[in-house]
Chains A and B, each alone.
Chain A
C-alpha cells in the first residue's frame, strides 16, 4: 500500500507540492541542518535528505531523516544504489520503515570517481529502476527480492528522478517510462534553469502519457554566486547551467549575486507553476539552505496545505 504521507496527500488532492533538499553534515554536528530545518517547519511539504551526494561522505540519509521526523518535518529518504548491494539496500529500506520514514527517492547515484573517495569500489548491484521495482515488491507483495516473505506491512511513497536536460530525449523518456512502469509514485527532476528546454521535455512526457500516470515535481536551484554556479556546472553531474544564467550572475557585483540567484530561482518557480504537467517544485539551495524558506515565501507558495488536519490551510490559519 502506498504510504499516506503528507506529500502523497498533497499530490493526490491536486495541490502544488513543495519539497526541498538538505544535505547531512560531513560529521556529527547537526546544529546547522537543524537550524535550517527549523526554518522549514510548516513551509514545505517534505524534505529530501541526500545520500552521500556527488559521492562525498556524509552522515547517513536515514539517520538525518529520523532527526527531521523528530522535529516534525516529513523526510524523503534518498537512496542510491552506488554504495550498497541488494542485501544492504533491503536492510536499510526495512530499517527506514521501522523508524517511520515512508517517502523514498530511488537514485543510481553519482559515480565514485566524482566524489571524495575516488579509490572506493563501486557497487551498483542494482540500478534505480530495479530499486523502484524492489521497494514496490516489498511494499505491495510483502516479499524481498529473493521471494522471502517479510514480517509487517511497510508502506512507502516511492520516488524516482529524471534529468530533462539530456542529449537523446527518446532514450531518456524511455527510461522515465521504465521508472514509472516499475512503480514510481512521483518524479523529482534535476534543477530547471532553461525553461524552453524544460518545455521540450515536459511536452514529450505529456505526449507519452507519463505525466498523467505519475506526478512530476520540477527541480529549481538557488545559485549563491557565479563561482559556485561555475563549480556546479563543471563538477556536478546532471546539473545543466546555461551560459545566459552565468552571464546574468556575472552582471552584478559579487555581494549581490545571491540576491540575483534568488530572483532567478523565484522566476523559475513562477514559470514552472504555469506549465501543464508540473505538479510541484523541488528546491535545491546547496550551501545556502537557510534561504529556502525565503524562496518559498517570495514565490507565493505559502501557506502550505495542512494535511494533518485535512481541509484547513496552513499553520497560521489554523491558529486563527
Chain B
C-alpha cells in the first residue's frame, strides 16, 4: 500500500490561511489502513483546525467527506454534489498525493491543499510502524536476491552489495535499520543458494523507472 503521514498542523494552518469555507476529503484506501487520512483522521484534523483558527480569531467552516478512493476519477466526481451545494473556497485532501492531483484536474477553479506527505510504498511491520519495500523501478528483479529488494532497502541501492560501511549487520546510513544485504545473505544461506551471491549483477536499466519521466501503463486489451 501507499504509506503516508499527516503534515504538521502548523504547515496545514499556513496553507489554509485566508480560506473560510473548506471541504476536507478523506480516503478509504491505503491511507485509512495506515491511519493517516481515513474518516477518523479527517474528523481529528478538521476539529484541530477549527479550534486553532477559532483561537486565532479567524473561525473557519470545515465540512468532512471521505471517498471510497481518491485514486479513481469516478469517486472524485462524487465531490461535484458537495461543491454545488456550498460555496467552498478550498479543498483539503487527506489522501496520498494522487488524491489532491485528481481533485485539481477535475475541478480546475478549486484550490486544493495536501494534508499528507506521501511517504512510500510499503507495509506494516508492527502496530504503528510501517516500512518501505518498493520503489516502483518498473522492472522487478527481487528473484535474484532471495525475494528481497536491495534497490529500495539498501540505502545505496547496491545490486552487488553489501558496502563496507555496515556495522554489526546494521545500515551505514541508518544504524536502526538492518543491512538488507545481511538479510539477503541469511535468506540465501537458508535456501542453500549462496552461490548466487557470486553472480555479477549488471547496471540496472533505469529507463523503465521514474528516471525516464512519468510513466503510463497501457493495456490494449482493456482500453476502449
Residue B61 CB within 8 A of the other chain: no
Q: Are B165 and A130 in contact (CB under 8 A)?
A: no
A181–B167 Cα gap in the complex (Å)?
A: 26
Docked-complex contact B173 and A113, CB < 8 angstroms: yes
Cα separation A125 to B202 with both chains bound (whole Å) = 11
Q: How far is the CB of A313 from chain B (nearest CB, A)?
A: 35
Q: Which of B165, B198, B203 contacts A237 (CB 8 A)?
A: B165
Instruction: Enumerate chain A residues within 8 angstroms of B181, measured Cβ to Cβ.
Output: 171
Q: Is the CB of A177 within 8 A of B198?
A: yes
Contact B200 A181 (CB under 8 A): yes
Q: Which candidate, B9-17, B75-83, B156-164, B213-221, is the interface stretch facing chain A?
A: B156-164
Asked if A174 and B197 sit within 8 Å, CB to CB, the answer is yes
Known A-B contacts A237-B172, A238-B164; the reply to A174 vs B194 at CB < 8 A is yes
A113 with B155, Cβ < 8 A, contacts A86-B203, A167-B182, A178-B160 known: yes
Nearest residue (CB) in A for B154 is A124
Verify B165–A172 contact, CB threshold 8 A. no
| Chain A positions 96 through 130: 1 when the CB is less than 8 Å from some CB of chain B, otherwise 0 | 00000000000011110110000000101111111
List residues of chain B with CB within 8 A of the CB of A128.
Answer: 160
CA distance A108 to B203 in the complex (A): 13
Whether A111 pairs with B172 at a CB distance below 8 angstroms is yes
Tell me if B159 and A111 are in contact (CB < 8 A).
Answer: no
CB distance from B194 to the nearest CB of A (A): 7
Would you give the shortest CB distance from A51 to chain B, in whole angstroms? 15
On chain B, which size bracket covers the interface? 20 to 34
Q: A178-204 vs B: 1/0 string, CB under 8 Å? A: 100110000000100000000000000
Query: Cβ of B173: which chain A residues have Cβ within 8 Å of it?
Result: 111, 113-114
Residues of B within 8 A of A114 (CB): 172-173
**Is the pair B172, A129 in contact by a Cβ cutoff of 8 Å?**
no
Complex CA–CA separation, A127 to B155 (angstroms)? 12
B162 and A172: CB pair below 8 A? yes
User: Is residue B147 contacting chain A, with contact meaning CB distance below 8 A?
Assistant: no
CA distance A137 to B77 in the complex (A): 56
- With A113-B173, A127-B161, A174-B198 as contacts: A167 and B168 at CB distance below 8 Å: yes
Count A-B contacts at CB 8 Å.
94
Chain A stretch 152-174: residues in CB contact (< 8 A) with chain B: 161-163, 166-168, 170-172, 174
Docked complex: B170-201 residues within 8 A CB-CB of A: 172-174, 181-182, 185, 194, 197-198, 200-201
Per-position binary interface string of chain A over residues 57-86, scored 1 when its CB falls under 8 Å from any chain B CB and 0 otherwise: 000000000000000000000000010001
The residue in chain A whose Cβ has the minimal distance to the Cβ of B184 is A171
Q: Are A175 and B182 in contact (CB under 8 A)?
A: no
Known interface pairs A86-B203, A167-B166, A237-B172. Does A178 touch B182 (Cβ–Cβ under 8 Å)?
no
Which one, A127, A167, A181, contacts B158 given CB within 8 A? A127
Across the interface, A182 reaches (CB within 8 A) one of B159, B182, B200, B204, namely B200
Contact with A along B131-173 (1 / 0, CB 8 A): 0000000000000000000000001111111111111110011
Closest chain A CB from B93 CB (angstroms): 26
Alpha-carbon distance between A165 and B204 when the two chains are bound, in angstroms: 29
Looking at the assembled complex, report how far the CB atom of A76 sits from the nearest CB atom of chain B, in whole angstroms. Answer: 17
The tally of residues in A whose CB lies under 8 Å from a CB in B reads: 37
Query: Are A237 and B167 neighbours in the complex by a CB distance under 8 Å?
Result: yes
Q: Which residue of B lies closest to A174 (CB)?
A: B197
* B172–A171 CB distance below 8 A: no
A175 to B201, CA, bound (A): 11
A126 to B204 CA separation, bound complex (whole angstroms): 8
Q: Which of A134, A171, A175 has the most CB of B within 10 A?
A: A171
- CA gap between A178 and B159 in the complex, in Å: 12
**B172 contact set on A, CB distance < 8 A:** 110-111, 114, 237-238
Q: Which of A17-66 contact B (CB under 8 A)?
A: none
Bound complex: CA A170 to CA B203 (Å): 23
Q: Does A211 contact B (CB under 8 A)?
A: no
A110 and B165 within 8 A (CB): yes
CA distance A171 to B184 in the complex (A): 10
Establish whether residues A129 and B164, one from each chain, have CB atoms under 8 Å apart when the complex forms: no
Residues of A contacting B197 with CB < 8 Å?
A: 171, 174-175
A203 CB to nearest chain B CB (Å): 19
* A108:B158 contact, CB within 8 angstroms: yes
Q: How far is the CB of B177 from chain A (nearest CB, A)?
A: 11
26 chain-A/chain-B pairs, Cβ below 8 angstroms: A82-B156, A108-B158, A109-B156, A110-B165, A111-B156, A111-B165, A111-B173, A125-B206, A128-B160, A129-B160, A130-B160, A130-B200, A133-B202, A134-B203, A163-B164, A163-B165, A167-B182, A170-B185, A171-B181, A171-B185, A172-B164, A178-B200, A237-B164, A237-B165, A237-B172, A238-B164
Instruction: List residues of chain A with CB under 8 Å of any chain B CB.
Output: 82, 86, 108-111, 113-114, 122, 124-130, 133-134, 145, 161-163, 166-168, 170-172, 174-175, 177-178, 181-182, 190, 237-238
Q: Name B's A-contacting residues (CB within 8 A).
A: 155-169, 172-174, 181-182, 185, 194, 197-198, 200-204, 206
